[in-house]
Amino acid sequence: MKNNIIQYAKESGFAIPQMNINGLVWIEGILKAAENQQSPIIIGTTDKNIEYLGGYQFILDTIKNKAKAMKVTIPILIHLDHGLSVENCKYAVDAGYDSVMFDGSSLPIEENIKQTKEVVEYAHQKGVFVEGEVGAVGGEEDGLTGEVKYADIDECIDLVKETELDTLAPALGSVHGKYQGEPDLGFEEMNMIRNKVDVPLVLHGASGISNFDLQRAIKLGHAKINFNTEINMSWTKQLRDTLEGDKDLFSPQKILKPSTQAIEKTAEKIIKMCGSNNQNKVFIQN
């Protein structure tokens, strides 16, 4: 098994950001930010987008090749976000992903446990980490929609104990995509869960959550925090400004460079909020 940088982050009181990618410029901007900040990073590819990204093997190899070409030195975990089935998680494991999430949150807990366990047994044989989810993250993102459903504490305990997964995402009021109104995280439940399970917790739907609440979540055991929307919004804004600023522009490089820099800038801000800057101490064996 690779060194568990997420466990290390939990013990050291910071979180490693997971940033989801939507193409090559995301890989470039995020890796640049992580290298500049000397931060370990988790690159997320959501299962719903795999076909658009070119398939498990293609996107995995592309991330690795890009990191090599950029001479990136920081530890990178390549993660399957919201794995839609046991089978898909196995594909990602076989392709060489470092970590997979099996999203059994819409299943009855017994079925969630059964399927997550199957993923864990398969993944652990190959040294791949597994994340599981209890409750439901709300909102809409990449074609995944859901109503907020707070995680049940006993279900969290059972999922962790029976599957031996590596990280747990207990849904506690966060949403994917843009928040309608103020985020309302269940910190009391968060405290209870972290006292009952010893694996690091994962916070989904972090875009739009205040720095104050993020720091509370990190103190309460969250060592992996997922971002997508915030990065996409900064990319879109810059792209729009560039195109509107010069109606005659058609050079892809001139159009894409500023928006890639916007990704980099937002990624650096996220890294600092998570406290993972200058935490490049963990050596990952490949």
For the annotated catalytic residues, the residue numbers are 81
Burial of 44 (0-12, 13-18, 19+ CB in 10 A): buried
Query: What is the DSSP track for 25-45?
Result: HHHHHHHHHHHHHT--EEEEE
Instruction: Report in angstroms how near the CB of residue 133 gets to ligand 13P at its nearest.
Output: 10
Instruction: Report in angstroms how near the CB of residue 15 gets to ligand 13P at its nearest.
Output: 13
Query: What does the per-residue mask of binding to ligand 13P show for 56-85, with x meaning CB under 6 A?
Result: -------------------------x----
List the structure tokens of 242: 């560039």
In degrees and rounded to multiples of 5, residue 137 shows phi and psi of -75, 135
* Single-letter amino acid, residue 217: A
- Interface residue with ligand 13P, options 204, 217, 274, 275 (CB under 6 A): 204
Identify the CA nearest to 124 among candidates 154, 163, 159.
163
| Stretch of residues binding ligand 13P (CB under 6 A), selected from 89-97, 198-206, 236-244, 249-257 | 198-206
| Stretch of residues binding ligand 13P (CB under 6 A), selected from 71-79, 115-123, 220-228, 267-275 | 220-228
Helix (H) or strand (E) holding 50: helix 50-53
- The owner of tokens 């599981």 is 132
Instruction: Report in angstroms how near the CB of residue 224 gets to ligand 13P at its nearest.
Output: 10
Question: Closer to ligand 13P at the Cβ: 117 or 176?
Answer: 176
- Interface residue with ligand 13P, options 39, 229, 234, 260 (CB under 6 A): 229
- Interface residue with ligand 13P, options 226, 259, 260, 280 (CB under 6 A): 226
Cα gap 152→109, rounded to integer Å:
10
Identify the CA nearest to 201 among candidates 34, 9, 2.
9
Query: What does the per-residue mask of binding to ligand 13P show for 137-156, with x meaning CB under 6 A?
Result: ----x---------------
Instruction: Report in angstroms how near the CB of residue 237 gets to ligand 13P at its nearest.
Output: 15
Question: Closer to ligand 13P at the Cβ: 167 or 229?
Answer: 229
Q: Examine residue 98 and tell whether it contacts ligand 13P (CB under 6 A).
A: no
- The owner of tokens 């390549």 is 78
Instruction: Report in angstroms how near the CB of residue 100 gets to ligand 13P at its nearest.
Output: 13
Identify the CA nearest to 232 among candidates 272, 269, 263, 268.
263
Show contacts with ligand 13P in window 159-188 (CB under 6 A): 176-177
Q: Examine residue 35 and tell whether it contacts ligand 13P (CB under 6 A).
A: no
Q: Examine residue 20 and tell whether it contacts ligand 13P (CB under 6 A).
A: yes
Number of residues that bind ligand 13P (CB under 6 A): 14
Overall residue count recorded for the chain in this entry: 286
Q: Examine residue 206 and tell whether it contacts ligand 13P (CB under 6 A).
A: yes
Helix (H) or strand (E) holding 62: helix 56-69
* HEC sequence for 127-173: CCEEEEEECECEEEECCEEECCECCCHHHHHHHHHHHCCCEEEECCC
Q: Examine residue 234 and tell whether it contacts ligand 13P (CB under 6 A).
A: no
Instruction: Report in angstroms how near the CB of residue 58 gets to ligand 13P at its nearest.
Output: 21
- The owner of tokens 């098994």 is 1
| Positions in the binding site for ligand 13P (CB under 6 A) | 20, 81, 141, 176-177, 204-207, 226-230
